[in-house]
A and B are shown apart, each in its own frame.
Chain A
Amino acid sequence: MTLTEKILARASGKTHVRPGDNVWVNVDVLMTHDVCGPGTIGVFKREFGANAKIWDRKKVVIIPDHYIFTADAMSNRNVDILRDFANEQQIEYFYDVIDDPKGHWRFDAAKGNGQRQFGNRYSGVCHSSLAQKGHNRPGEILFGTDSHTCQSGAFNQFATGIGNTDAGFILGTGKLLIKVPETMRFLFEGALPKGVMGKDVILHLIGEIGFDGATYRAMQFEGPGVASLSMDDRMSITNMAIEAGGKNGIFPCDRKTLDYVNARTAANGTKSTFEPAEIDADQSFVYDKTFDLSALEPTVACHPDPGVRKLAKELGHIALDRAYIGSCTGGKTSDFLAFAEIVRGKTVKIDTFGVPSTTEVMDELKATKWDGQSVWNILASAGVRLTENPGCAACLGGPVDTFGRMNAPLKCISATNRNFPGRMGHKESQVFLASPYTVAASALTGKITDPREFIG
């Protein structure tokens, strides 16, 4: 069996499953956020009753992250709906925006996004937070009400996005009926060359198989090249499995996985026992192809979908209005460090916005010093507009006052994950997806630029 089949077989109490089988799986973690949580809670109450109890208060993780730092009253209300439910159900892992469990969240527009407006428990983007707070464990099953839930597959977890109705069903029962997907294998050899990141790998692969090339399928990444990839690179890769239509993306578990997971579960006191899924000798795939990581180059997905693949070096004619770094895909500490490496000591030529994925990322950028100066200040000195309020921000547009949102038909190069029309705001705006290195180099020149020109 493939990694996905092994995990689904175990979670459904079977010795063997095949693609196409429909199985009831026991859920290890259900994650929801402020955009889909209120509707999920609504479904749960409507279907199981106003006084119903969730199946397991330690297995539900609620992470407000989408529409937090906005004066939109309904968005603020939605965070309050999450808080009421977390209190009522005594949910153990609720990363609230404010500290007062009886309080109401109201964004202070006068203070704006320049100043921190969150309490001690707030974390930021849900997928990054799941990893940092020790909710990703090898061999387990994680569902989330967000399509980029597939990111957690970097940790050898079966993880996929679902809607409110399915999530409401899980809240009441702890189970879900799912179809076992066919698996596509992407076998990696070699190591990434300088200036090329995990983001380039997944943009290359989506271009290879097309925007729907993995629809209803699992994407399994393995081979000798995996060992050289950092956990952050692996997260960038699995994060975007959905952009090829994939049900999930998954890596094997190795030393790097274990080190990360053990450190994070210990730090946050989350469950620390798990059983990784190992690679079987006997696996069958619907697609099986080898990729030499050392041959990859900085890659861009052009407007209007993630499958329009080009090399950065071919796109020098495209003038840009804006650059953006942030999100689950491109807002990690390593992403900002790569960005800072390029812009350090220089000045960006176009409006450039930076949104750390989580509060931990922001703290690390402030604490990391290069020649006595924090990376945070290096970025600010280069002209990057940074927010002190981590979250999803303009990756998905959001309410009109969202930090970095495109409220005009601009062209933006972005370290985020999706570029269908209107994704980052204005429906005639255009988004070009690229690695943080490429976004940084392009911010300096005002046109799409191969970052290797700036790397010594």
Chain B
Amino acid sequence: MAKTITSKVFVVRDNIDTDQIIPAQYLALVPTIAEEYEKLGSYALIGLPDDQYPVKFVPEGTIKTPYQIVIAGRNFGCGSSREHAPIALGAAGVEAIVAESFARIFFRNCVATGELYPFDSGLRLCDIVKTGDEATLDFDNDTLTVNGQTYVLKPLGDVRPVIDAGGLFNYARQSGMIAAAE
């Protein structure tokens, strides 16, 4: 089935670490408890410095973000191994992150949880695109179209079917690697 997303984008720069994605004071929230999962989403990217990011990712008084696509610079998701980070973004309503590059554990956690599609694009779109621009992400052709320009992204490859399935466990069950839960 063809898959595209059209959404306003939120743009961040280099080295957005897990403390900026979900500050440590919110880590007592347990992602597998439904209401705490929702709460994590409401705090997504709340650690970004206000002077550099005057636009709130999750508008005040709401728990979801209007931005389904995040555009980032180098080393997105560096820092801690906390799975709260991709989960907070996913719970807020983000579908995909198109970064110039990712930190390793964050990338893996996106795939394992199935929360987000991490496009490791190699492209420095954060210098070209602005928060609020509307973009279309085409998963089948691996392209991002924004402001009349179409950028070709590196294909997601092996990680796409895992995220499509809803994460590592669902994928492992579908492919017969592990048995179904009791």
Chain A residues in the interface with B (C-beta under 8 A): 35-36, 38-39, 42-43, 45-52, 66-67, 72, 74-75, 77-78, 81, 144-147, 149, 161-166, 168-169, 172-173, 211-212, 215-216, 242, 245, 247, 304-305, 396-400, 418, 420-423, 427-428
Known pairs A35-B82, A421-B20; A47 contacts B32 (CB<8 A): no
A38-B30, A46-B181, A305-B15 as given contacts; A165 in contact with B169, CB under 8 Å = yes
CB distance from B172 to the nearest CB of A (A): 8
CA distance A67 to B32 in the complex (A): 19
Are B49 and A397 within 8 A (Cβ)? no
A175 to B141, CA, bound (A): 34
* Interface size range of chain B in the complex: 35 or more
Return the chain B residue nearest A423 by Cβ.
Answer: B19
Give the docked Cα–Cα distance between A423 and B81 (Å).
Answer: 14
Cross-chain contact A247 with B30 (CB below 8 angstroms):
no
A162 touches B24 (CB 8 A): no
Task: Please give me the residue from chain B that is nearest to A215 by CB atom.
Answer: B104
Q: Is B23 an interface residue (CB 8 A)?
A: yes
Known: A35-B82, A169-B169, A173-B178. A421 touches B30 (CB 8 A): no
Using an 8 Å CB-CB cutoff, how does the interface string of B98-116 with A read, 1 for contact, 0 for none?
Answer: 0001011100110011000
Residue B79 at the A interface, CB < 8 A? yes
- Contact between B24 and A163, CB atoms less than 8 A apart: no
Partner of A166, one of B29, B75, B103, B168: B168
Pick from A67, A149, A161, A163: contact of B28, CB below 8 A: A67
Give the nearest-CB partner of B178 in chain A.
Answer: A173
- CB contacts (< 8 Å) of B24 on chain A: these are 396-398, 423
Chain B residues with Cβ under 8 A from A46's Cβ?
Answer: 32, 181
CB-defined contacts of B25 to chain A, threshold 8 Å: 397-400
Given A147-B105, A165-B112: A245 in contact with B75 (beta carbons within 8 A): yes
B100 smallest CB distance to A (angstroms): 10
In contact, A245 and B82 (Cβ under 8 angstroms): no
With contacts A396-B19, A427-B23 known, is A163 near B30, CB below 8 A? no
Q: Distance (Å) between the CB of A150 and the closest chain B CB?
A: 10
Q: Which residue of A lies closest to B15 (CB)?
A: A305
Are B19 and A39 touching (Cβ within 8 A)? Answer: no
Minimal beta-carbon separation of B156 from chain A (angstroms): 16
List, in ascending order, chain B residues with CB within 8 A of A43's CB: 32, 169
Check A42/B31 contact, CB under 8 A, given A397-B25, A420-B15: yes
Q: A166-B112, A216-B104 are in contact. Are A72 and B28 (CB under 8 A)?
A: yes
B19–A145 contact, CB under 8 A? no
Q: Which 10 A-B pairs have the closest CB atoms?
A: A42-B32, A49-B182, A163-B83, A161-B81, A163-B109, A165-B112, A74-B28, A420-B17, A164-B83, A147-B81
Q: In the complex, how many angstroms separate the beta carbon of A445 from the nearest chain B beta carbon? A: 28
Per the bound structure, the CA–CA distance linking A39 and B88 in Å amounts to 13
**Cα of A310 to Cα of B81 in the assembled complex, Å:** 27
| Secondary structure class of chain B's binding surface, majority of residues | loop
Task: Jot down 27 A-B pairs with beta carbons below 8 A, ordered by A.
Answer: A35-B28, A36-B83, A39-B30, A39-B32, A43-B169, A45-B32, A49-B181, A67-B28, A74-B28, A78-B28, A81-B30, A149-B81, A163-B81, A163-B108, A165-B83, A165-B169, A169-B112, A169-B169, A169-B172, A172-B178, A245-B78, A400-B25, A418-B19, A420-B17, A422-B47, A422-B49, A427-B20
A161 with B105: CB separation less than 8 A: yes
For A169, give its contact among B28, B33, B78, B168 (CB under 8 Å): B168
- Chain B window 154-172, contacts with chain A (Cβ cutoff 8 Å), 1 for yes, 0 for no: 0000000000000111001
A227 to B101, CA, bound (A): 36
B27 at interface, CB cutoff 8 A: yes
Minimum CB–CB distance from A351 to chain B (whole Å) comes to: 20
Instruction: Give, as a whole number of angstroms, the nearest-CB distance from A446 to chain B.
Output: 25
> Which listed residue, A77, A162, A398, A421, touches B81 by the CB 8 Å rule?
A162
Q: Which residues of chain B are within 8 angstroms of A38 by Cβ–Cβ distance?
A: 30, 32
- Name which residue of chain B comes closest to A399, CB basis: B25
Chain B min CB distance to A400 (Å): 6
Other A-B contacts than A75-B28, A212-B78, A215-B103, 4 sampled, CB-CB below 8 A, are A39-B31, A47-B169, A147-B79, A147-B81
A49, B23: Cα distance in complex, Å = 31
Given A163-B82, A215-B101, A396-B19, CB of A42 within 8 Å of CB of B33: yes
Q: Are B47 and A211 closer than 8 Å at their CB atoms?
A: no
Task: Check A48/B168 contact, CB under 8 A, given A67-B27, A305-B15.
Answer: no
Task: Give every chain A residue within 8 A of B74 (Cβ-Cβ).
Answer: 212
| Chain A CB within 8 A of B80 CB | yes
Q: Tell me if B28 and A42 are in contact (CB < 8 A).
A: no
Query: Who on chain B is nearest to A22 by CB?
Result: B158
Chain A residues with Cβ under 8 A from B172's Cβ? 169
Q: What chain B residues lie within 8 Å of A144 (beta carbons)? A: 81
Across-interface contacts of A78 in B (CB, < 8 A):
28, 30
If A47-B169, A420-B19, A427-B23 touch, whether A163 touches B29 (CB-CB below 8 Å) is: no
Q: What residues on A are CB-neighbors of B19 within 8 Å?
A: 396-397, 418, 420-423
Q: Which of A166, A247, A421 contacts B104 (CB 8 A)?
A: A247
CB distance from A346 to the nearest CB of B (A): 33
Chain B CB within 10 Å — which of A38, A46, A149 has the most? Answer: A38
Q: Cβ of A422 and Cβ of B20 under 8 Å apart?
A: yes
| Chain B positions within 8 Å of A72 at CB level | 28
Which among A51, A149, A163, A211 is the interface contact of B112 at CB below 8 angstroms?
Answer: A163
Nearest residue, chain A, Cβ from B109: A163
Most chain A beta-carbon neighbours within 10 Å: one of B28, B33, B75, B182 = B28
Bound: A36/B25 CA distance, A: 13
* Contact of B28 with A399 in the complex, beta carbons under 8 Å: yes
User: For residue B52, which residue of chain A has the nearest CB?
Assistant: A421
Task: A179 to B165: give the CA distance in the assembly, Å.
Answer: 21
Residues of A contacting B32 with CB < 8 Å?
38-39, 42-43, 45-46, 164
